């Protein structure tokens, strides 16, 4: 089963995104800040990370940068989300504008379902990836890449909605 980590400091947003991802067949982990997410990633390897840009402490942009710098997690797609403009410089694979509705979320996440099942999905070119064309998922949510899986219990400070799927420094 495909697993996703959701990082947001708003409980209602966490619940909504977890619900949508579960409806799409994802197992979900949640964290309310980047530090907790980093702890989750030390023992998990989700197929997708969805993070808010503005988090207490370390930002979602910095979290994405750390994930992409990790040899073990570098191919994990990271979608950033915010009620503000998309950050000029970030290492995320896509951006979701808030507010969003459920259909927009499903559309933004669907390429990652296809990718985890072995089908081609829109993505930005990576040396080991066969797809190369960046694709707009919708007018408000842009997606660029997909990836893997594992299952372990989340560390304290994080919660698991159904099951879990490793951030060791590269």
pLDDT tens-digit profile of 21-32? 999 999 999 999
Phi-psi region at 57: left, alpha or beta (left = phi > 0; alpha = psi -120 to 50):
left
Domain residue ranges in the chain:
3-160
**Sign of torsion, CA 170 38 49 46?**
positive
pLDDT, average across residues 143-165: 39
Distance from C-alpha of 156 to C-alpha of 41, rounded to nearest angstrom = 12
Question: How does residue 120 score in pLDDT terms, banded at 50, 70 and 90?
Answer: very low
| Alpha-carbon Rg for the chain in angstroms | 14
Question: How does residue 161 score in pLDDT terms, banded at 50, 70 and 90?
Answer: very low
Distance from C-alpha of 91 to C-alpha of 77, rounded to nearest angstrom = 10
CATH class of residue range 3-160? alpha beta
CA 76 to chain centre: 8
pLDDT tens-digit profile of 73-118? 999 999 999 999 999 999 999 999 999 999 999 999 988 886 666 5
Tell whether the model's pLDDT for residue 138 goes beyond 90.
no
pLDDT tens-digit profile of 104-113? 999 999 888 8
Tell whether the model's pLDDT for residue 35 goes beyond 70.
yes
pLDDT, average across residues 131-141: 31
Distance from C-alpha of 123 to C-alpha of 133, rounded to nearest angstrom = 6
């Amino acid at each position: 089963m495909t697993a996703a980590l959701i990082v947001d400091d708003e409980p209602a947003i966490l619940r909504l995104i977890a619900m949508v991802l579960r409806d799409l067949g994802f197992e979900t982990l949640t964290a309310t800040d980047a530090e907790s997410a980093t702890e989750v990633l030390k023992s998990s390897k989700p197929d997708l990370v969805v993070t808010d840009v503005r988090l207490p402490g370390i930002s979602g942009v910095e979290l994405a940068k750390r994930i992409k710098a990790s040899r073990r997690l570098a191919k994990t797609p990271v979608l950033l989300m915010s009620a503000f403009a998309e950050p000029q410089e970030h290492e995320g694979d896509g951006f979701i504008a808030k507010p969003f509705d459920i259909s927009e979320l499903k559309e933004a996440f669907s390429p990652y379902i296809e990718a985890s099942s072995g089908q081609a999905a829109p993505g930005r070119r990576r040396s080991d990836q066969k797809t190369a064309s960046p694709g707009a998922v919708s007018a408000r949510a842009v997606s660029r890449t997909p990836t893997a899986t594992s299952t372990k219990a989340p560390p304290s400070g994080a919660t698991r909605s159904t099951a879990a799927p490793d951030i060791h420094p590269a």
